[in-house]
A and B are shown apart, each in its own frame.
Chain A
Amino acid sequence: MADKSSDRKPRRGEDRAPDPVAERERTAKEAFVRGIIERGEAAKPDRNGKLPPGVTHEILEEVEGELPKIRRHRFSLR
């Protein structure tokens, strides 16, 4: 079956060359989140709403196949 989506007119914002600045920001943000996850610095709060020691970010939302959404709670010394 022919891919009709290729026949239609590009919508606003589609088929444009990727914005290098936005791409750079997206890559930087992904690297930031990936580092936090890999170092175990993100967690869900416990029943009292507290984060474990050493954790700086709360995991807000997890979607399969994607990096979780996180929010900073603290800056730690090390």
Chain B
Amino acid sequence: MAVSASRRRQPSRTSGGPSTVGGVNGWQDDPGDSLPPAVPAELRPVPDLSIAPLRMRIDVTPAPAAGAYELGTPEFRYWSAAEALERGATFWRQFLPEGTTWQPGEELRVLLDEGEDFNAFYDRNALNFFHGTAGGRTVFSGESPDIVCHEQGHGVLDALRPELFDAGSIEAAAFHESFADICAIMAALQLQSLRVAILSDTRSDLSRSSRLSRLAEQLGWAIRQVSPDAVDADCLRNAVNSFFYHSPEELPTQGPAAALSSEPHSFSRVFTGAFFEALAGGFRQTATAPTETDLQRVSSDFARLLAAAVQAAPVVPEYFSQVAAALVAAEASNGGKYRNVLTSAFVRRGILSAHAAVGMTAVQTAVPLAAARVAAAVPGASRELPHLALAGADYGLGDIPLLVRAASEPRRLVTAAAAVGVGSVSAPSSERAARAFVEDLIQRGHIDAGDHGEIPGWIVHPHTFKTHRLVKSEGGFVLNRILFDCGFHPHMVR
């Protein structure tokens, strides 16, 4: 950052005050896209970037004196960035194994304005930020705590798991982006003022889109002026999304923000969305009326689990599922209070298959998976479809079959869905269709286990709307529909 003498400003705490500095100005999470800013900058304690591990240095000589500078000045941007960097480093320092350092060494450099671009990057040398002009406004990526903490997050993950930096894997690259976005969210949650504001804005329902879930609103606005479909409608990326896992090798390599592609930032939204959903669920279950203090505690719990998971998960092509499984396993060894919300979120996003999640649960609870027993169909009324017995073990029901109404009437039209890539999907058998249907319900958490909620392997989705119920019969568990869901449920995850 070039701090020219002509543009240098004095701290706004002037009027001949004492030489001791009262603090610096900083944004909560982002300058935002409105002018004047909807959320004003706040006075914060003077940050100290010299604490190890995770020591940092903003590459400006001389560094401006600490103070609460006017908005729009280089000095304001310097201290706003420094405050965000310190907040992120202080938060993650507590979860790192002893001896962890940045990949570049003990100290990580920060370059606040490296020229013109709507971007920022981490390159094992420094965190690099830029400025760009659009719509008559110049925005500095290094001014946004969201962006600063995102780039810092790359550095943190690189310190924890350097193998990921150059891994030739879409999922590993996408996870790097997801982890960085999660770092931005976690750093924001360390500010009491933001926690209070978010709980007020969302009526304590974190699963709603909010300033917390929306990353980099200001830069997103600027990019939208020049490339309308490249970013979300109200930010760069949003952790509250509904993207579902699809093998990235089968996705287009790029696409508009509204669609999922294998481009790492795009694909990262699947994992970020699941993690944020679990975080929201974890917060919701802490108390009847959870407070901002609960929110801070839950953020620490989830960050600790994530740090453990990325160290445990092997770097393989299916990295998302490996990290998800490691998160659930880490949580199981930590008391298991978030197990359901984590499993639910990852199953609902398809990151963990229902089978995989059931297997994990079964192993953890030491319930042997007996061979499936094929039961005779339960006789039904003449106009009803016959029951098909599915292996209960696949759904955590042990050796008790799951009886599902099978779509097994004769086909009158030959039709098929389009496959990704070339050709069409073969028409599934009745059993395959039933299995797909049940798995879909389980993934979305729409089955109420009712009085049988203590089934050891059953995946409990505590905050989802239920359309089906398990009813015990002589032949096994019967899957009965309760209702057709056509509405929006503001307090439920759909």
Interface residues of A (CB under 8 A from B): 24-25, 27-29, 31-35, 38-39, 53-54, 56, 71-78
Contacts and interface: CB of A to CB of B under 8 A. Distances in A.
Given A32-B168, A72-B165, A38 B254 contact: yes
B249 A75 contact: no
A32 B173 contact: yes
A25 B118 CA distance: 34
B122 A75 contact: yes
A8 B230 CA distance: 57
Given A28-B169, A28-B317, A75-B177, A54 B119 contact: yes
Question: Which of A27, A28, A56, A73 counts the most chain B CB atoms within 10 A?
Answer: A28
B249 A31 contact: yes
Given A39-B254, A77-B151, A27 B249 contact: yes
A29 B166 CA distance: 11
Interface string B199-231: 000000000000000001001000100000011
- Top 4 nearest A-B pairs by Cβ distance? A74-B123, A28-B317, A29-B168, A35-B253
B121 A74 contact: yes
Interface of B: 115, 117-124, 128, 141, 147, 150-151, 154, 165-166, 168-171, 173, 176-177, 180, 216, 219, 223, 230-231, 236, 248-249, 253-254, 262-263, 265, 316-317
Contact of A31 (B119, B128, B170, B254): B170
Nearest to A28: B317
B121 A76 contact: yes
Contacts of B248: 31
A28 B249 contact: yes
Contacts of B262: 31, 35
A20 B29 CA distance: 45
Nearest to B316: A25
Contact of A29 (B120, B150, B169): B169
Contacts of B180: 75
Contacts of A77: 119-121, 141, 147, 150-151, 216, 219, 236
A25 to B, nearest CB: 6
Contacts of A35: 170, 253-254, 262-263
A39 B251 CA distance: 14
Given A32-B173, A53-B115, 13 more contacts: A25-B317, A29-B168, A31-B262, A34-B253, A35-B262, A38-B253, A39-B254, A39-B263, A54-B117, A54-B119, A77-B141, A77-B219, A78-B236
A51 B262 CA distance: 23
Given A24-B317, A25-B316, A31-B262, A78 B223 contact: yes
A19 to B, nearest CB: 13
Contacts of B120: 76-77
A69 B298 CA distance: 43
A22 to B, nearest CB: 11
A78 B265 contact: yes
B322 to A, nearest CB: 13
Contacts of B176: 75
Given A25-B316, A27-B249, A32 B121 contact: no
A73 B123 contact: yes
Contacts of A27: 249, 317
A74 B129 CA distance: 13
Given A27-B249, A78-B223, A71 B122 contact: no
B154 A75 contact: yes
- Among A53, A72, A76, find the residue whose CB has the most chain B CB atoms closer than 10 A: A76
A53 B165 contact: no
A39 B265 contact: no
Contacts of A74: 121-124, 128
15 contacts: A32-B169, A35-B170, A39-B263, A53-B119, A56-B121, A74-B122, A75-B121, A75-B122, A75-B176, A75-B177, A76-B120, A77-B119, A77-B141, A77-B151, A78-B119
A33 B115 CA distance: 28
Contacts of A24: 317
